[in-house]
Amino acid sequence: MWAEPDAADRTHRVPGPRTPELVLANRAGRAAAAVARISDRGARIVVVTIALVWHLAIGLPAVLAARAEPAVPQLVIGCWLLVAVLGVLAGVRLLRDAPLPAPPLVALLLVVDVVVFAALGRAQVFGPANWVWGGLAWFFVVVLWRQPVRWLLALLVAHAGVGLAAVVLYDATEAADLARATMALYGTSSLPAAVFAGATTLAALSRDRTATAAATNAMLAERAAAEQARRERTERLALVSAAAEEVLTELAQGRADPTDPQVQRRCARAAARLRRLIAESDDVPHPLLHELRAAADLAERNGLPIELVTIGTPPPLPVRVRRSLADPLAAGLADARDWARLTVVSSPDEVVVGLVTPDAAGPEAAPPPTEDGAGEVEFHYERDGKIRWTQTRWRR
């Protein structure tokens, strides 16, 4: 009952892009993160260098010189080697910006801490072979980079606990020993803690500052675009008003005849353009709406009254999706006769663009160009003798 003899009904999927374009809203955040990462890089190089140089240039000669002294020298040297390997691997990952598995590394360092103190024996607790007093704290800094400062402080406290426990268990509790232990802990922990806290603060500051700068730039760009859109609208309003005034003046002066179809058409066109201008409520038009308005303006110059109704705001769309949505409609508009109704209904997950024109003899609407990729935009075209109906639909 509904199928007209010349009814053409085609539905197929139009391919869309695979990679989404940069979203304006995310730009500020990403720029801030990038700057923070770069400014943080210097501090990372410094920390990794200090840890490894200390380990190699200060820890190693002392351990080798006193290699016969500890109770179990193999364990002390083995742990030194283990931390050296761990330090190089962690340092490389840190400098390459790869994530570090902090909890297992921290556990390993604490185990090394305990094992070395146990293997040193009473005589070497304060001896040159005890490389963990001074060297280990820098590795704490390396493995805990970008973690909250309290984690490092907790680890330093644990380190101090291990050292003091060893001192107590070895019964080296004379005032001089305790003073030496405290000096060793304070002297070797304060600098890493300060560097760590300083770097964290600097990174946070630079991130804030970049975010502010990016947000300011985005706002300026937005304002410029809004200003541009306003200017364009004012110009179009002047143009449209002039056309409307002209026909109204002619009508008022009796030079134009209201029964003349030509005059009626001019009125309809002027009204449609004014309505479209009034309907533009967005400060900065979404690129899709901008393109459709441009197509409508172009078709209107050929004397076609066009109604353009938009509902909702389209989400940011990749360029190819936008093209797949707009191009078939723009082509349909160019072929339209008598009148056209262009509608855009948008929600965050769906954008449907529809074009309805009277069905007069004429060429069929060309399907949109086929691009590679997964189909994201559905194209529908039909004519039923009364109307030609072109619809493109994107679903997330």
- List of residues contacting another protein (CB under 8 A): 2-3, 7, 271, 275, 278-279, 281, 307, 309, 311-312, 341, 343, 345-348, 352, 354, 356, 382, 384, 386-387, 389, 391
Other CB atoms within 10 Å distance of the CB of residue 184: 18
At 296, the amino acid letter reads A
If one counts every other C-beta atom within 10 angstroms of the C-beta of residue 385, the result is 10
CA angle 203, 208, 210 (to 5 degrees): 95
* Number of neighbouring beta carbons within 10 Å of residue 330: 18
- Name the residue nearer to another protein (CB basis): 210 or 390: 390
Residue 310 CB, shortest distance to another protein, in Å, is: 9
Nearer of residues 67 and 395 to another protein, judged by Cβ: 395
SS3 371: coil
Least Å distance, CB 266 to another protein, is 17
- Give min distance, CB of 25 to another protein, in A: 18
DSSP secondary structure code for residue 145 in this structure: T
What values do phi and psi take at 280, rounded to 5? -75, 105
Cβ of residue 217: shortest distance to another protein, in angstroms?
30
Instruction: Tell me whether residue 133 or residue 381 sits nearer to another protein (CB atom).
Output: 381
Q: Which residue has the tokens 């490894």?
A: 52
Nearest CA-CA partner of 342 in 361, 325, 329: 329
* Pick 125 or 272: Cβ nearer another protein: 272
CB of 323 to another protein, least distance (A): 21
Question: Hey, CA dihedral for 313, 318, 322, 325, is it positive or negative?
Answer: negative
Nearest approach, Cβ of 303 to another protein (angstroms)?
19
Q: Residue 34 contacts by C-beta under 8 Å, 6 or more apart in sequence?
A: 210
Smallest gap from residue 345 Cβ to another protein (A): 5
Amino acid at 116: V
Phi and psi for 349 in degrees, rounded to 5? -110, -5
User: From the CB of 384, what's the least distance to another protein, in Å?
Assistant: 6
Minimum CB distance to another protein, residue 211 (Å): 29
- Strands (DSSP E) found in 253-300: none
CA gap 52, 82 in Å, rounded: 13
Q: 274 with 233: CB under 8 angstroms?
A: no
- Cα-flanking dihedrals φ and ψ of residue 340, to 5°? -150, 145
The smaller minimum CB distance to another protein, of residues 182 and 347, is found at 347
- Could you give the count of Cα atoms lying within 13 Å of 356 in the half-sphere of its Cβ? 10
- 121 three-state secondary structure: coil
Choice between 262 and 281, CB closer to another protein: 281
**Residue whose CB is less far from another protein, 184 or 247:** 247
- How far is it, in rounded angstroms, from Cα 129 to Cα 198? 31
